[in-house]
Every structure is written in C-alpha cells, then in structure tokens.
Amino acid sequence: MSSVTVRVPAKVNVQLSVGPLREDGYHDLVNVFHAVSIFDEVVAKESEGITVQVNGKWSDQVPTDDSNLAIRAARALAKHAGRSYGAELVIHKSIPVAGGMAGGSADAAGALVACNELWGLGLPMDDLMEIAGDLGSDVPFSLIGGTAVGTGRGEQLSELPTGGTFHWVFALANGGLSTASVYAECDRLRAASDADVPWPTLNDSLMEALGTGDAYALGTHLSNDLQPAALNLRPELAPTLESGRQHGALGAIVSGSGPTCAFLAIDATHARDLAHSLTTTGTAHTAVAAHGPVHGATLI
C-alpha cells in the first residue's frame, strides 16, 4: 500500500471542569468531549523518513518540524513497533489551529491510524490509545470520536451514549490561544480570588440531556471552567457569545481553551441561519455549521 488517507474530526467540550492545580503542574479534569463534523484529512505516503507538509486554511500556522504532533505520533508508533519506518504525512487542514477544537490532536490521531495501516502493523485500538495518551490529553478522544467523558488529565475515556444529533455553529476567531497560557490565566484568576477550587464532577443533568438528545436541556448545562480565563485574554469573545445568544442559540460557550466560540442550535436550519447572522452582522469573520457526534479517526 503506497498511500493511506484518514479523516479525523474536531471536538467541542460540552463540559470542561478543571480541578485544583496539582504538584506536577497538571489539573484533574472532568472533560466531556463531543466530536463534530469539521474534519482534517491526514494522508500517509511511503517514504524513507518521517516528514510532514500542511495545506489548506491556517496551514501557515502549523509547524512542520519535529514539534509537529503528527510527526511525533508517527515516530512514537514506529518506536512502539520496534522498527524504523518512514512516512510522508500530508495534512489537509479545516480544523482551526490553536482554536480549542483539538486540531493538532486530531492530526496526531490521524497519523497513528494512517501509519498503522501504511506500515501493515495491524495494531489494535488499545495499543493506539496507549500511544495517544502519551502524546496528549486530547489525542485518545480524537481516535474514538463520538461523545465521551475524560478524567485524569482528560485521557482516561469512557464513551457516553448520545440519543440524537446535535447541531452547532462555530465562530472562528482571528489568531489562536495557547492552551498553556489559558490554564496559567485560570490558575492566576483563581489564586487572586482566593476561593476554594472544588473537585471536578460530572454534571448528571448534562449526561441526561446527551442521552435523550434534548438540545434545549443540553444548552442550559454547557460549562467551561477555562472560559473566564479565555475571555480575560481575549475580551472580544464576550460580545461574540452574547450575539449568538441574541440570535437564538440554545447555549453559547468558548470551546476548550478557545478562542473558537461554540453555539448550540435547534436544528440544521437554525444552525445555517445562525451562522449567516453571525457573519453578516460582523460578529464573526467566519462561522461554520456542523453536527455531532461523529466517528473518530476513520480510514477513507
């Protein structure tokens, strides 16, 4: 096989509860992931070494050196297999870069699946999940997709049943936000308030809304503990969220560490109308309608 293509989705966090800062610098999380129909494609081709090139929107913002997470994923897979392999990775970007939608993690998951197939390794999903967990907290979810709750640093996953399709609009911001800087700002704000930070717990009402497919109920229970920090770093996101609410969004939230803003719509028609309203009013330069849940990294 000389070429393999994998499609891998973006995610939105419908609940992101962040516990106190641990001694190792991480936080315990309750992180409810939901995969949505904005996709990157990762192509793996036969090659002597492991390299990456990126095209599509935001391609100029993606590193192509050893810091690229897809390269790191391919090398980790080869190391796990105990042999020297090569692959030319070509990433077609549609997921925002540093947008809080796990674009880099998605590409890493895509590289794992593509290279596993290209190299004929035949490794089971459990092996790929183990490698993914060492690469980053969001990478395992990008492999499985759907809806799932992540605990620990977010990498310990349990799939959640979802009773229907949810429709979303994502307002894409100019420029990105560093996940590390948002967590640091979250810690700073918490230290300044001197308030006790509770242990993160799963919202049972949110789980019920997901299970029954009730978009109205889900909209009232969206939550993100990183949102105050993201808004502090990017104050212009606050009017974007408010505009979405004014145009009928059932819920409005910063996606992950931001700066992408996510709006839950009633149905597909409402999502299209909401995306149109956000762009024509100048609230967002780009707004994309999508739906979820969708499958994780998939060979195509």
Known binding residues are 96-106
* Residue set of the binding site for ATP: 96-106
Task: For residue 39, give every residue at least 6 positions away whose Cβ sits within 8 Å of its Cβ, in sequence order, or none.
Answer: 7, 8, 9, 10, 94, 95
Q: Which residue shows structure tokens 């990105």?
A: 176
Point out the catalytic residue in the list 11, 40, 93, 225.
11
Reported as type and span, the H/E element at residue 205 is helix 204-212
How many whole angstroms separate alpha carbon 263 and alpha carbon 222? Answer: 10
Omega within 30 of 0 (cis) for the link into 259: yes
| 79 given a catalytic annotation | no
| 11 given a catalytic annotation | yes
Residue 10: beta bridge partners? Answer: 36
Point out the catalytic residue in the list 40, 93, 107, 138.
138
Through-space distance between the first and last CA atoms of the chain, rounded to whole angstroms? 14
How many whole angstroms separate alpha carbon 99 and alpha carbon 118? Answer: 30
Question: CB atoms < 10 A from the CB of 49, how many?
Answer: 10
Positions marked catalytic: 11, 138
